[in-house]
């Protein structure tokens, strides 16, 4: 293979770049990182981006307007990428250079932010707490699009009892700031809401610009009700975010920040119930304890208790009495039995069985012949019956002599 | 009970609890407070579970409230 000269390869590269559709007319955005103007009115400068990639640029025979450009400014350069064979590098040969619109806006925004900050619109101690149990929430946003639906959904999922009042507003375009301010003013004049949410879903930097407008920021700062700014996505921070009482990263998050989850309300309520039930039960326990203490004291002096004691004493006495009486009775019984035995031994009728008899006259015992006369009737009692007899004869005799 | 009065009634329930916790409260008052607290709790619970919030929109021309309805052609 034939070896090429350096010039040949350089020329080839130059030709390739020139014939490239994109590189021959390209628009590049970047921040000026270096700039030199020559006496011959050429301007050599570099632009870089946030990754620190650097592109060398040159603007030949620039007019006066390049005087406005400073290092650090975001600009847009249009031109062609060419090579410079003598240095083996490439550069962008500019045909026009302009300030990047966002760069300008950023600058203006920065100034506005600073001004409002100095006025105290963003002071932390001016921030009001967001009511946790809002009866009604005012929402200023577009009535179409995902944001309003997300908000309604989140608010009613967490707190179904909260009323939502939507102020449909333009959220981008030239008339948006006025509409947003009117929304805030509407709620200022309306007592029926506890919190206001102002916001919109995601969009480009320009789309969100209404929320950077001074009138809107001032209206947010002056809102009568606590206000949450919920604009775009997490990464988008706009001036209303600083002016509001609370910044929500997204409209959905605003719905969450403006409400408690329903279960939290139930938990609070249940906890309160437990607390007052506990207080009541303790009260009852105290009273019960006191009552039983009183009862004991009273019981000690209860006449019934005293009576019972007497009664028991009485019972004991009675028992003793019964016992001693019974013992005496038993003793008597015994003595009686003994008498009976003795008596039995001396029973005169028992003698009759041995052949003896006794004589009575008119139921009186005849124990001597002197008691009777002949011809008188007498009664002779034997062991098994009686004999009526008449005395025939009386003979005196001495039975002791037998 | 209106949901509007929810927080006011929560505060009331809290003050009932505080009162119940006082040492020298007569028993008959405790019973009355307890009954009041139970009733209030029940109403609050009912209010939490049964209240359904409305969604309304502002009629920007007339500055009046009307029920929320989808208006897909609106920006």
State whether residue A168 sits within 8 Å of chain B by CB.
Answer: yes
As given in the structure block, the two tokens for residue A183 are: 């929304």
A88: left (phi over 0), alpha (psi -120 to 50) or beta: left
The whole-number pLDDT of residue A103 equals 67
pLDDT digits (tens, 9 = 90+) for A131-168: 988 999 999 999 888 899 999 999 999 999 999 999 99
Report strand pairing: A163-168 vs B55-59. Answer: parallel
The pLDDT of residue A200 is above 80: yes
Q: Using 50, 70 and 90 to split pLDDT, how confident is the model at A195?
A: very high
pLDDT digits (tens, 9 = 90+) for A214-260: 999 999 999 999 999 999 988 888 999 999 999 999 999 999 999 99
Terminal-to-terminal C-alpha distance of chain A: 201
C-beta separation of A29 from A76 below 8 A:
yes
Place of tokens 């921030």: A127
pLDDT digits (tens, 9 = 90+) for A128-137: 999 988 999 9
State whether residue B32 sits within 8 Å of chain A by CB.
Answer: no
C-beta separation of A188 from A220 below 8 A:
no
The strand order across the sheet containing A364-365 reads A364-365, A358-361, A377-382, A385-390
The whole-number pLDDT of residue B74 equals 46
Give me chain A's average pLDDT, please.
Answer: 89
Give the chain A residue nearest B73 (alpha carbons).
A144
The whole-number pLDDT of residue A182 equals 96
The pLDDT of residue A301 is above 90: no
The whole-number pLDDT of residue A198 equals 96
Q: What is the ipTM of this complex?
A: 0.83
What is the number of alpha carbons within 13 Å of residue A103 lying toward its C-beta? 16
Distance CA B1, CA B39 (A): 11
- Which pTM was predicted? 0.60
**What average pLDDT does range A374-381 have in this prediction?**
92
Q: Using 50, 70 and 90 to split pLDDT, how confident is the model at B71?
A: low
The whole-number pLDDT of residue B75 equals 43
Task: Out of A28-37, A66-75, B23-32, B58-67, pick the least confident.
Answer: A66-75
Give B55 to chain A, closest Cα distance, Å.
5
Give A185 to chain B, closest Cα distance, Å.
11
The whole-number pLDDT of residue A298 equals 84
Give A284 to chain B, closest Cα distance, Å.
8
Distance CA A393, CA A271 (A): 132
Q: Where are the beta strands (DSSP E) in A232-327?
A: 246-248
The pLDDT of residue B72 is above 60: no
State whether residue B1 sits within 8 Å of chain A by CB.
Answer: no
**What average pLDDT does range A261-284 have in this prediction?**
88
**What average pLDDT does range A299-318 have in this prediction?**
87
pLDDT digits (tens, 9 = 90+) for A34-58: 888 888 888 899 999 888 899 999 9
Rounded-to-10 torsion of CA A264, A266, A271, A277:
170
C-beta separation of A74 from A100 below 8 A:
yes
CB contact under 8 A, B58 and A165: yes
A79: left (phi over 0), alpha (psi -120 to 50) or beta: left
A106 closest CA partner among A77, A74, A78: A74
**What average pLDDT does range A323-346 have in this prediction?**
91
């Amino acid at each position: 293979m034939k070896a090429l000269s350096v010039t040949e390869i350089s020329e080839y590269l130059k030709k390739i770049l020139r014939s490239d559709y994109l590189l021959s007319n390209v628009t590049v955005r970047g921040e000026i990182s270096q700039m030199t103007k020559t006496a011959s009115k050429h301007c050599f400068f570099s632009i870089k981006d946030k990754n620190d990639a650097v592109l060398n640029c040159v603007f030949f025979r620039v007019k006066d307007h390049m005087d406005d450009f400073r290092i650090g400014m975001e600009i847009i350069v249009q031109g062609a990428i060419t090579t410079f064979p003598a240095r083996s590098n490439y550069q962008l040969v500019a045909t026009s250079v302009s300030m990047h619109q966002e760069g300008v806006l950023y600058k203006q925004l920065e100034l506005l932010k600073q001004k409002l900050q100095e006025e105290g619109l963003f002071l932390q101690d001016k921030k009001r707490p967001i009511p946790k149990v809002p009866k009604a929430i005012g929402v200023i946003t577009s009535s179409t699009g995902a944001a309003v639906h997300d908000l309604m959904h989140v608010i009613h999922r967490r707190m179904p009892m909260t009323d939502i009042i939507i102020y449909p507003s333009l959220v981008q375009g030239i008339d948006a700031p006025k509409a947003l301010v009117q929304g805030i003013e509407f709620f200022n004049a309306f007592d029926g809401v506890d919190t206001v949410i102002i916001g919109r879903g995601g969009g480009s930097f320009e789309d969100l610009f209404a929320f950077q407008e001074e009138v809107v920021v001032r209206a947010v700062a002056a809102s009568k009700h606590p206000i949450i700014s919920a604009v775009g996505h997490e990464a988008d921070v706009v001036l209303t975010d600083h002016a509001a009482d609370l910044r929500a990263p997204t409209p959905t998050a605003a719905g969450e920040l403006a409400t408690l989850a329903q279960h939290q309300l139930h938990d609070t309520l249940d906890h309160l119930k437990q607390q007052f039930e506990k207080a009541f039960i303790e009260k009852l326990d105290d009273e019960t304890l006191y009552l039983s203490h009183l009862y004991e004291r009273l019981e000690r002096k209860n006449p019934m208790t005293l009576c019972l004691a007497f009664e028991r004493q009485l019972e004991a006495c009675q028992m003793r009495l019964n016992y001693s009486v019974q013992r005496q009775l038993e003793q008597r019984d015994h003595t009686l039995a003994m008498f009976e035995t003795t008596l039995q031994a001396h029973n005169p009728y028992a003698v009759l069985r041995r052949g003896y008899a006794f004589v009575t006259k008119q139921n009186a015992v005849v124990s001597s012949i002197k008691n009777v006369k002949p011809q008188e009737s007498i009664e002779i009692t034997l062991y098994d019956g009686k004999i009526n007899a008449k005395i025939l004869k009386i003979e005196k005799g001495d039975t002791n002599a037998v | 009970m209106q949901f509007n009065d929810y927080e006011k009634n929560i505060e009331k329930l809290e003050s009932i609890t505080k009162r119940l916790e006082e040492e020298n409260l007569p028993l008959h008052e405790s019973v009355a407070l307890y009954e009041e607290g139970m009733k209030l709790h029940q109403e609050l619970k009912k209010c939490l579970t049964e209240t359904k919030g409305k969604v309304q929109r502002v009629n920007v021309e007339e500055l009046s409230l009307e029920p929320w309805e989808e208006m897909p052609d609106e920006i």
